[in-house]
Amino acid sequence: MMLWTGLVAISVTGHSVPWSHSAKSQSLRAKYHSVRANRLVGLMLCANSCTANTHVSLNKMLVVSSTLSMISSNVVLWSHHGLESLSSPTAKSVSSHVTDVCSIRKPSWIPVSVKSLRHTRLSRRSMYSVSISTGKHKCPPRALFYLPEVCKISLMKILGIETSCDDTAVSLIEIDGENVHVLANTVHSQIDQHRPYGGVFPILAKREHAKNLVPVFAQTLNTAGLTKVGTTDIGESIDTLLSRESELLTALRTYISTITKPDIDLISVTQGPGLEPALWVGINFAKALSEIWNIPLIPVNHMEGHVLVALLRESKSEKFKVESEENKTHNSYLIPQPTYPALALLISGGHTEMVLMKNIGDYTVIGKTRDDAVGECFDKVARLMGLPYPGGPEISRLATIARDKNTPSPFPLPRPMIDSPDLDFSFSGLKTSVRYGLDKHGALTDDERAGLAREVEDSITDVIEKKLASAHETHMYQSLIAGGGVIANTHIRGALDRFTTERSLSLYLPQIDHSTDNALMISIAGYFKHKQHRVSEPDFRATGGLVIGK
């Protein structure tokens, strides 16, 4: 239990400085936490055996003023931008934190209660003024401090950039702890360009990203209301970064020269997994922006983004307007903490895996596909059935029709590896069974095609449910988090809802428009990685096979 007191300012020196106080029979010991902002340091005082006027040596920090005479009944809490957050601060929530860390040793002075809370948004930080009461006794003094580990209040604007496959996406969010305000979330799809190939053509995806990134970025800034007409001195530093992307370099130079630095605190970009040629375009673009505007850059795992965006819950009371030309109203979301251990089911065009989570950032893969991913299986089967690309939505559409009419499949399909003793998947055999069945059956009628689509969807869903049940028996997870493009499938979503309801588990599903690749999930993943101080190499590279966790 400690009482936070003292108003201090520091400068870079190597001096020891005197500490004085007016308490008559109490000796105080000073501890400090330094924060890299405005050169302020918070001091924690607690009863100890030190004598009055003890010299406190602060390495390279000089306390300008730190006497108890500066204290009054108002406590002003300053939190550095980007620190761990306490969402939607209220008198009650701040009171809880103040009580936890500022409880005064005398029992009669407990509990601390917060009478009022005043919030003032400063440039890149928040200031909270709190009037507190300590029962019968007057609250000693006044304090103004940075609370790097205690107050837990922050506001950050984070730019997310996603180019792992065939979607060029840029997002801007403002986040303070559990609250996420989506200022802009722009996605440019390349489906029309790749449809003739029946799948994503990597070099085409790379070229389209280079062409679309600047327009998508500009649209995102405009929607978020962060475009400021002016000029930015670019220099020649980005020429090397974008030397292989001449079209992107020209477009970026042209655009950046017309605006000033936007109010962005962190840039988050997908490092992998994905198509490396596509990933490199987004990474070099992010590095260029980071260098031009001196904004911190953090690489994130695409699959972790799918996990975290599934946690978002819309907060209807938190709508807000941004100062943009459109004056749009944007959604605000809460990020609730799931009950751990949790299981993340990731199903997409390139991935099928189950990841055990002990906390955000603590991941262990306990099951994965040995060959085709779920989304890949859907696309390949759709091609065999003569359905257009992308095949997953088409199979889902036909399967829904078949269920409504109770149309059977023209032939049965297996449930690959459904009874295997491990938690792995395999879907290449399902595709092969469809091929052999079609060769034997011949041309399909419309009803037969719908019935086969239903059978394919049922087969995949049955296997997923059985693997989830086996994982629950083994690991007893309390929450199920599902992410990836395939989780947009309504039949699979319904099956997961029934599965978790029967077992009294918490279920976290992303919004349909958050299921497919987007930069919102990259912004959120960047926030948590930054918050947890997970270190990345400054000269990070695109990693097509990047894995999540262990």
- CA 441 distance to own-chain centroid: 48
Contact 55, 12 (CB under 8 A): no
Alpha-carbon span 270 to 268, nearest angstrom: 7
Instruction: Report CA-CA distances (Å) from 278 to 165, 181, 390.
Output: 6, 28, 19
305 is in an annotated binding site: no
Strand order in the sheet with 113-122: 6-7, 143-146, 74-80, 125-133, 113-122
Q: Which of 383, 372, 341, 361 is nearest to 481 (CA)?
A: 341
**Tokens matching residue 147:** 């609370």
Strand order in the sheet with 41-47: 3-4, 41-47, 28-34
252 is in an annotated binding site: no
Instruction: Report CA-CA distances (Å) from 5 to 65, 107, 192, 440, 548.
Output: 12, 18, 62, 82, 43
Instruction: Report CA-CA distances (Å) from 7 to 69, 132, 328, 363.
Output: 10, 17, 41, 41
Contact 172, 159 (CB under 8 A): yes
349 is in an annotated binding site: yes
CB neighbours of 503 closer than 8 A, spacing ≥ 6? 472
379 is in an annotated binding site: yes
Instruction: Report CA-CA distances (Å) from 199 to 210, 444, 448, 460.
Output: 19, 23, 25, 21
Alpha-carbon span 193 to 376, nearest angstrom: 18
Phi, psi of 323 (to 5 degrees): -80, 85
Alpha-carbon span 32 to 116, nearest angstrom: 27
Alpha-carbon span 451 to 114, nearest angstrom: 63
Alpha-carbon span 543 to 282, nearest angstrom: 12
302 is in an annotated binding site: yes
517 is in an annotated binding site: yes
350 is in an annotated binding site: yes
Alpha-carbon span 424 to 471, nearest angstrom: 10
259 is in an annotated binding site: no
| Residues of the binding site for substrate | 346-350, 379, 392, 489
| Residues of the binding site | 302, 306, 346-350, 379, 392, 489, 517
| Residues of the binding site for Fe cation | 302, 306, 517
